[in-house]
Structure 1
C-alpha cells in the first residue's frame, strides 16, 4: 500500500534518487530564485531587456527600501495581519467546539447530516459566491471593512476546519471521555482540559494551513475591499506599478516580503505541524 523506503531499493535506484532529488528541488525553486534575482536587479536592466541574465549590479537594499518608501507596504502588511490572525482564531475556535460536538455526542442524531453539510460546503466553488457575498456585505454595512473580510474568511474556513478537527477528535479513545464523565467532570472541562491538549498538534497544523490560506488571499480582498488604506499586502503590491511603467523589481521585492510571514509561521510551528499531520497515522 505504501512505497518501499529508498534504503531498501537497489544501489542504482538510490544513486538515481540522490541525483534526481537536488535537480528536482532546483527546478521547483527556480521561479522563486528568478523572483529574488529580479527583486535585486536595477530597473535599467529590465528596461534594456536583461530580464533573465546576470544583473549589471545588485540593489538589494535600495529596492527593498524603495518598496517601503514609495508605497504603503508597512500598512498593507499590518492589514494582512489584522485580517489573518483574527480569522485563524475565530475559525479554529469554532471548529474545535463544533468538531467536539460532532465527534463526541453520539446520541445526537443530526451529527452526521451536519457533518456532511460541513463537508459539502468545501466543494462549493467560492467564485460563484462573489455577488451574493458582496451584496450581503453591503446590506450589513460590512463592505470595505476589515471586519467584513474577517467574518467572511472565518465563515468560509470554519467548514474545512470543522472537518479537520472532527476527524482528529473522533480518533481519540472514547473511553477517556466516558471516564471523565463518570468522575463527574463537566463537558466544558472535558473539552478544555482533556480534549484540547490531546489535539494540540492538530490545532497547530491547522493554524499554519489557515494562516497561509487567508494571508495569500487575493480574490476576496479585491472583491470586498475598495479603500487603498485597507488593502492587504497581496493586493497592495499592485500600487508599486506606475501608470505607464511597470516596476517589476519593486513588485518582486514586495511579493517576497509578502511571502515571509507564512514561511516564518511554518518554521516556528514546524515541529507541531508535522506531528499534527501524522497524528493518528499509526495505532498503539
Structure 2
C-alpha cells in the first residue's frame, strides 16, 4: 500500500510540474505572438506613410508633409495631408497594392478617400486576396485638387485568429490533461484498500466518527482503533476489514445480504467491488479464529452471518 501511495504522490507531482510547464509555455507564446503582432502593426503604419508620400509626389508635391497616421479603430487607419492635392484613382490603387504587398497582414482591405470638409467619400475601392473579388471602379477619372484623407480598413489578420486558436487549444489541452490525471486519484485511493499481499493496517488513516466498541464472545472489537483484543493480545485490522466487521457487529447472528455489504463499504467511494468482499471475509475469518465461538458463516442465496455463541 505504501508503494501505491508513493506512486500516487509521484503522479500528482508530475501533474503539477506538467501544468506549471504548460502555463509558462502559454505565457511565452502569448507574449511572443503579441510582440510579433505589435512589430507588424508598427511596420504597417510606416507603409501607410509611404503610400501618402508617393501619392503627393505623383501629384507634383514634394515639399508638404504627410501628417502622423491615426489609428481609428482595430485594423483601421487614417492618413492625412498638410496641403490639398489631386490624385489619379488608377495610380492610387496601384500604389497601395504595391506598397502593402510588403505587409504580411494586409491581404484584404478597403480604401476610402474622404473629403476633409464633410467626411464624404470622394473615391473608394476594395482589394481582396483573391483578385476576382477586387472592387475597383472609375480608375481613369482624375480627381480635383482638394483636401483629402485616406481611410484604410484591413480585414482582421489571420495571425490574430491563429493566436487565439493556439491559446484556446492549449487551454483545452490543459483541461483535458488535468481531467485525465486528477480523475483517477480518488479511484487509486480506493485501490489502496483492496486486498493484496501488502495489505496491512494503516494507522494514519482517520477513523469514521461513528465508531464503537463491541464485545464478540471473548474478544473486544475496537472499531475506532481497528483492533481485536483477546487475552491482552491485539490483532490489527485494516480499514476495510474494520468496516466489514463493524457491519456484522451491529447485527450479530443476523443474515446480511451480500449486496448490502458491497453497497455500504464501497459505494460511497464511487466504486462497488465484486469478489474483493469474499477475500476480506476470508481474512476476517482467520483473525476471528482466536475465539472458536465467533465466526462468519455463509448463508446460501443470501449473504453472510456473524455467529456469536
- TM-score (ref. length: structure 2): 0.24
Which structure carries more relative contact order (alpha carbon 8 Å, separation 6+)? 1
| Larger Rg, first or second structure (1 or 2) | 2
Higher helix share: 1
- TM-score (ref. length: structure 1): 0.26
Higher strand share: 2
